[in-house]
Copies of this chain bind each other. A is one copy, B any other.
Amino acid sequence: MLSLVDLRTRIAAGHLDPAGAIRLAEAAIAAHDPGIGAIVSRNPTPKVSEAGPLAGIAVGIKDIIDTADLPTQMGSPIYAGWQPKADAAIVARLRALGAVPLVKTTTSPFASHDPTATVNPRDRGHTPGGSSAGSAAAVAAGMVPLALGTQTGGSVIRPAAFCGVAAIKPSFRLLPTVGVKTFSWALDTLGLFGAGIADIAQALSLIADRPALDLGDDAPAPRIGLCLQGFAAAPDAAALAALDRAARAAEAAGARVADLTLPAPLPEAWARHPVIQDYEARQALAWEYAHHRAHLSPELGEQLDAAQTLVAAQYDEARRSAHRARRVLKDLFGEIDVILTLSAPGRAPAGLGTTGDARFNRLWTLMGVPCVTVPVPGDGLPLGVQIVARFGDDGRALAVARMIERALAA
């Protein structure tokens, strides 16, 4: 994989220039994408900045995020060839830092559940997950050192785990969603994919202009709550084993690990996530539904059909439930620093019929708290574990993820 930290180090040392770093990405895309299908479109003549902390960093942009120089097609024939006027706020920020938004990456239609044609670079007979399929696959295949995704249920953490890359879904609205196609405004969250935790920590601290988010290796030994999210049903044995390995590695590195069962308001809120998501999606995609129902992908079409029957009272009750759960979770984080849990129920499913299940991700998206997935080394398709911290404590989630990443490698 292309490491953002490594590229920046080589550029800073004069061993590589930004244009050369972009050419590395272009060559990797030319070599690998034909068999993977992660890329929707590419800027053939990118303007490469010599200045800025992200100079030389090629970025993959999920194709629901507006770009002024490339179409934004939402993974849907309804938006075929659609060229937005302006860059999304996050894309403008990347350019201001010197990065090159080089490619648009595949997405499930409107970031829904329906699969893309992208395959998993670790085993092409498997899904890379979704909805941020192309961003996870492009980083995993070494095409770009950084990619943007979005998560409404589990669309960042899950594909990252399936593809064996690091990713963060930061605290709600730490990254601006202006210019990102809305599915659910209370849930949609931008996230970052990178080769390792240090890469996404550097990227996030620069993009969010918060140096304190990148704690490096200096964080104190954490108190970790080990959480199976039993309300979401059991994971595969392999995922459980990976979680156990991560917990033992963390303990060996000095962390205190204790089992954690989430109080009732949290599973209650988890169960209501789909109500909030679908009631908002019905409004966010009202134009597409009214005028292009026949061109919506099958699962999304059915999801929006069903959403037409939801009423405001159900939505309000779901929002109150989420509010109660956020207060309980805040108190929980008085006793522990982070939660260690599953990134997905297991390895990437075979075939391209499904993008996998977001059931271990939904609660944390609804809570708006930062989530980081760490690849767990092993045989076969990748597995990941998920670190969750309190709202605004993205730096801690990254620091603990880094500690576990190192402990697993040791």
Contacts and interface: CB of A to CB of B under 8 A. Distances in A.
Contacts of A208: 312
A87 interface: yes
Contact of A284 (B176, B186, B284): B176
A170 to B, nearest CB: 13
A93 B91 CA distance: 30
A93 B283 contact: yes
Contact of A210 (B82, B185, B283, B312): B312
A283 B185 contact: no
Interface in A87-106: 87-89, 91-93, 95-96
Interface residues of A, number: 36
A268 interface: no
Contact of A185 (B173, B287, B288): B173
A27 interface: no
Interface in A265-288: 280, 283-284, 286-288
Interface string A342-372: 0000000000000000000000000000000
Contact of A85 (B79, B87, B92): B79
B176 A287 contact: no
B287 A68 contact: yes
A177 interface: yes
Contacts of A392: 316
Contact of A288 (B86, B176, B284): B86
B86 A176 contact: no
A92 B287 CA distance: 6
Nearest to A95: B290
A92 B176 contact: no
A51 interface: no
A386 interface: no
A278 to B, nearest CB: 14
A311 interface: yes
A176 B311 CA distance: 15
10 residue pairs, one from A and one from B, having the closest CB atoms: A92-B286, A86-B287, A87-B287, A178-B182, A89-B283, A176-B283, A92-B287, A178-B284, A210-B312, A89-B286
Interface of A: 68, 79, 82, 85-89, 91-93, 95-96, 173, 176-179, 182, 185-186, 208-210, 280, 283-284, 286-288, 290-291, 311-312, 316, 392
23 contacts: A68-B287, A68-B291, A79-B85, A82-B85, A86-B287, A87-B286, A88-B287, A89-B284, A89-B287, A91-B287, A92-B283, A93-B283, A93-B286, A95-B290, A96-B286, A176-B283, A176-B284, A177-B185, A178-B182, A178-B283, A178-B284, A208-B312, A209-B312
